[in-house]
Amino acid sequence: MGSEEITTSAESRGHLKQLVAIGLIASLIGIALGLAIDWFPTQASTQAEQVDTLWDVLVIFSVPVFVLVITIVLYCVWRYRMKPGEELKDGPPIHGNTRLEIIWTAIPAIILVALCSYAYVTLVDIEEADASALNVTVVGEQFTWTFYYQSDGRRIASPQLYVPRGRQVYFTVQSQDVIHDFWVPAFRMKIDAVPGVDTHLRVTPKTNGDYPVVCAELCGLGHSVMRQTAHVVDPSEFDKWLEDRASGATGGGETDEAGGNAGAPDGKAVFAAAACGSCHALQDAGTTGGTGPDLDEVLAGKDAPYIEKGIVDPGAEISPGFSEGLMPENFDETLQPAELDALVKYLDEVSG
């Protein structure tokens, strides 16, 4: 008996060394992979840096825990598996191991409290208010977002989100119907849009570019196409955009890269900027949305006044097979007269 026990414990120590070695190597590989993989899109806000650092720290702590648990489980399954003839054997009747239980409760508790504290500090930090923040109201509805700005006491509506780089934006998020969720993945911040409640979000854009705005709450048939674009631009460009928007001069919200946006807006750009294609198929624009009627079909042979009425008063005539209230009713507000004209003209031309 005695000599067998000695062999067994020496053998166990050998196994333990192997286990520790396997665990260490697996943890290092796991952490390296976790940090090397490019999980997220461009960091377009200062908040994104802090959120991504938090993520990295979580990866560094979670991978060894995962490896530890899986290594022990797999090792025990293999080492203590039932061999032929052991069907009726039971393990030794032991009470437990108080010291071990204290250790495996205390260490995870300490890690959890530390990580929660760090996450809390990060959250407080990224939500810190800036007195000079730009106020933007985001209104969600099935299935579009509308962005409202204040300019000289007037409320300016836009189907596209424009924000100046380097200045905090204070979003007030609302919903007109069901729960949506306002999310710009490149900003890393998201919040629910709840009917009857104002929710808030602070973002400080830091990288110029165009980033998807998505809805992150299942909100109906068109949920997956409730997508628009967030444009982070130089402050001077933003001021100009807002000024143009306020005076009704801008084209479609989609600034044209080449030469500003002087002149009449381009109907096709308005179609894209207002995200019409997320719900409507239109061959010329290459869109395939199926939430609303196929525009090549329903607009064929129709004249401009009919098309305009369909845009600003979509409830007046509903195409067979589609229900009322699917299409936003505020296009006469979010589109400026010149944009609406351009859009109607464009649809009239391409639908034949």
- The site for ligand CUA (CB under 6 A) is made up of 140, 143, 180, 215, 217-219, 223, 226
The Cα-based distances of 149 to 97, 108, 169, 227, 241 in angstroms read 64, 47, 11, 19, 11
Nearer to ligand CUA, 293 or 328 (CB): 328
Nearer to ligand CUA, 192 or 341 (CB): 192
Nearer to ligand CUA, 132 or 323 (CB): 323
Report, in Å, the least distance between residue 278 CB and ligand CUA. 11
Report, in Å, the least distance between residue 93 CB and ligand CUA. 56
Report, in Å, the least distance between residue 187 CB and ligand CUA. 17
Nearer to ligand CUA, 143 or 171 (CB): 143
Report, in Å, the least distance between residue 181 CB and ligand CUA. 7
Nearer to ligand CUA, 223 or 245 (CB): 223
Report, in Å, the least distance between residue 145 CB and ligand CUA. 8
Report, in Å, the least distance between residue 217 CB and ligand CUA. 5
Nearer to ligand CUA, 143 or 187 (CB): 143
Report, in Å, the least distance between residue 326 CB and ligand CUA. 12
Nearer to ligand CUA, 157 or 226 (CB): 226
Nearer to ligand CUA, 203 or 215 (CB): 215
Report, in Å, the least distance between residue 316 CB and ligand CUA. 24
User: CA 208 to CA 276: how far, in whole Å?
Assistant: 25
- 3-class SS letters over the chain: CHHHHHHHHHHHHHHHHHHHHHHHHHHHHHHHHHHHCCCCCCCCEHHHHHHHHHHHHHHHHHHHHHHHHHHHHHHHHHHCCCCCCCCCCCCCCCCCCHHHHHHHHHHHHHHHHHHHHHHHHHHHHHCCCCCCCEEEEEEEECCEEEEEEEECCEEEEECCEEEECCCCEEEEEEECCCCEEEEEHHHCEEEEECECCCEEEEECECCCEEEEEEECCCCCCCHHHCCEEEEEECHHHHHHHHHHHHHCCCCCCCCCCCECECCCCCHHHHHHHCCHHHCCEEHHHCEECCCCCCHHHHCCCCCHHHHHHHHHCCCCCCCCCCCCCCCCCCHHHHCCHHHHHHHHHHHHHHCC
